[in-house]
Amino acid sequence: MSEVSSKEMYEVKKTLKELENKKGRGTELVSVYIPPEKQISDVRKQMVDEIGQSSNIKSKQTRKNVQSAIEVIIQRLKLFPKAPEKGLVMFVGMIPKGGPGTEKMETYVFQPPETVQTYIYHCDSQFYIEPLRQIIEYKEVYGVVVLDRKESTIAVLRGKRIDILKHLTSGVPGKHKAGGQSQRRFDRVIELAAHEFLKRIGRHVDEAFLPLKDELKGVLIGGPGHTKNDFVEGDYIHYEIHDKIINIVDTSYTGDFGVREVIDESADTLDEMDIMQEKKLMRKFLTGLISESGLSTYGEKEVRQNLQMGAVETLLISENLKTKRQTYTCPACNTIDIITTRQHQEAPEQRCPKCNEIMKVTGTQETAEELIELAEEVNSSVEVISIETEEGTQLDKAFGGIAGILRYKVK
Ligand SMILES: [Zn+2]
């Protein structure tokens, strides 16, 4: 699997957020997913067919809007002689800004961070964003281990896909009723065999999960009975994998069914994972501030400086950050100046600091995007913080939406 940059992810997530609230007046918003192996010329033909089909739409307004959306798609497809490496996603439609007559054609065309699997043409009153959401979720990797005394299954969950990696059986005999001396000896043999089996599972778990440890967001353990708890409490797996255990589930089954059960039962835990990660980092940042360790920084200027020095371990950006960077160039002496403004603010008049000429805006970029790019250049990790938690709101309101956890104290 190829690496997806934080910036790509940030952009897709942002687009998803924008798209999920858009609604057409009728069933007239068109979504198209094109897998990389699909011929663009075929897609174009299908679009022409769709225009033909759409003549059956009763409402004249809806018909007209669907047809113009498809026209836009056909035009845009001309820019692609063939589908990009990971495919192409397009959302086109008339979005009302207020009452009737305020609709404006909106077009989103982009190359997704992960490969489009199936061709989809979809026309509805909302954009069809579910496949795109799944493409993103595919990035979330969890390890799953289900076990009892008899067998164990090791699996990996990627988004909604489950890959079974290993089935193990123990050969540990069941309880035996002999009574007396031989019963005790027999029980001891069983205990030893069970212990050996847990060791074996542990080795396979390490082998399966250690190579994934950087992308692994958590490990889920399940099974009927107490064996899973013995496994977690004992010293059977590598500490870096052990540290990632986020849920232990009682199941009715082992095997593939057990894996499914563990995942279903962990839905809430998985939802909370992102939030937990955000909270954890924000607390680290806040603790750093209070302790005056010098390892926490905030504010656009300070954070950018620290990024440029390579001192930032983790860049924290509020999803609510709404500023952009305007580049001004002096037409007389070419002096360049960059200032930050609010996202929807008109660029204020700027005079050249050298010759006092009125400067021209020659470039604009979102501040979040610029900082994330900078972070990637110097290998800082990036966490976009939602405003769903108290800590996240604090980042937005009290720290201007930009903060950093530093690798070392900067004088
Ligand atoms: Zn000038």
Give residue 5's pLDDT: 66
Ligand 1 center from residue 347 Cα (angstroms) = 18
CA end-to-end span of the chain, whole Å?
Answer: 40
Mean pLDDT estimate for the chain:
90
Judge whether 69 and 29 are in contact, CB under 8 Å.
Answer: yes
Measured distance CA(3)–CA(351) in Å, rounded: 43
Residue with tokens 């800004």: 97
Tokens of 296: 């926490």
Give residue 78's pLDDT: 92
Ligand 1 center from residue 351 Cα (angstroms) = 8
Other CB atoms within a 10 A radius of the CB of residue 12 amount to 21
Judge whether 231 and 238 are in contact, CB under 8 Å.
Answer: no
Sorting pLDDT into bands at 50, 70 and 90, what band is 361?
very high
Ligand 1 center from residue 348 Cα (angstroms) = 17
Sorting pLDDT into bands at 50, 70 and 90, what band is 1?
very low
Homologous superfamily (CATH) for 277-406: Ribosomal protein L30/S12 (3.30.1330.30)
Average pLDDT of the residues in 374-392: 88
Ligand 1 center from residue 325 Cα (angstroms) = 19
Measured distance CA(391)–CA(394) in Å, rounded: 5
Average pLDDT of the residues in 209-228: 92
Measured distance CA(357)–CA(350) in Å, rounded: 8
Confirm or reject CATH 1.10.10.10 for domain 6-137, answering yes or no.
Answer: no
Average pLDDT of the residues in 324-341: 94
**Percent of all residues in the chain with a pLDDT value above 90, rounded to a whole number:** 64
Ligand 1 center from residue 115 Cα (angstroms) = 47
Tokens of 220: 């889920």
Sorting pLDDT into bands at 50, 70 and 90, what band is 75?
very high
Rg of the chain, C-alpha, whole Å: 28
Give residue 138's pLDDT: 64
Ligand 1 center from residue 85 Cα (angstroms) = 44
Sorting pLDDT into bands at 50, 70 and 90, what band is 177?
low
Ligand 1 center from residue 337 Cα (angstroms) = 10
Ligand 1 center from residue 371 Cα (angstroms) = 27
Ligand 1 center from residue 117 Cα (angstroms) = 52
Measured distance CA(195)–CA(20) in Å, rounded: 51
Ligand 1 center from residue 361 Cα (angstroms) = 13
Measured distance CA(165)–CA(157) in Å, rounded: 10
Ligand 1 center from residue 309 Cα (angstroms) = 29
Q: DSSP for 134-201?
A: HHHHTT-EEEEEEE-SSEEEEEEEETTEEEEEEEEE----------HHHHHHHHHHHHHHHHHHHHHH
Average pLDDT of the residues in 83-110: 91
* Residue boundaries of the structural domains of the chain: 6-137, 141-265, 277-406
Ligand 1 center from residue 323 Cα (angstroms) = 25
Average pLDDT of the residues in 79-99: 92
Other CB atoms within a 10 A radius of the CB of residue 248 amount to 16
Which of 9-13, 62-66, 174-178, 339-343 is predicted least confidently? 174-178
Residue 251's nearest CA partner among 220, 206, 219 is: 220
Ligand 1 center from residue 327 Cα (angstroms) = 14
Give residue 176's pLDDT: 59
Judge whether 409 and 295 are in contact, CB under 8 Å.
Answer: yes
Judge whether 206 and 216 are in contact, CB under 8 Å.
Answer: no
User: CATH classification of 141-265, choosing from 3.90.1300.10, 3.40.50.11260, 3.30.420.60, 3.30.420.40?
Assistant: 3.30.420.60
> Which tens digits make up the pLDDT trace of 230-275?
999 999 999 999 999 999 999 999 999 999 999 999 988 887 777 7
Judge whether 238 and 207 are in contact, CB under 8 Å.
Answer: no
Ligand 1 center from residue 352 Cα (angstroms) = 5
Q: To the nearest 10°, the Cα dihedral for 95, 96, 97, 99?
A: 180
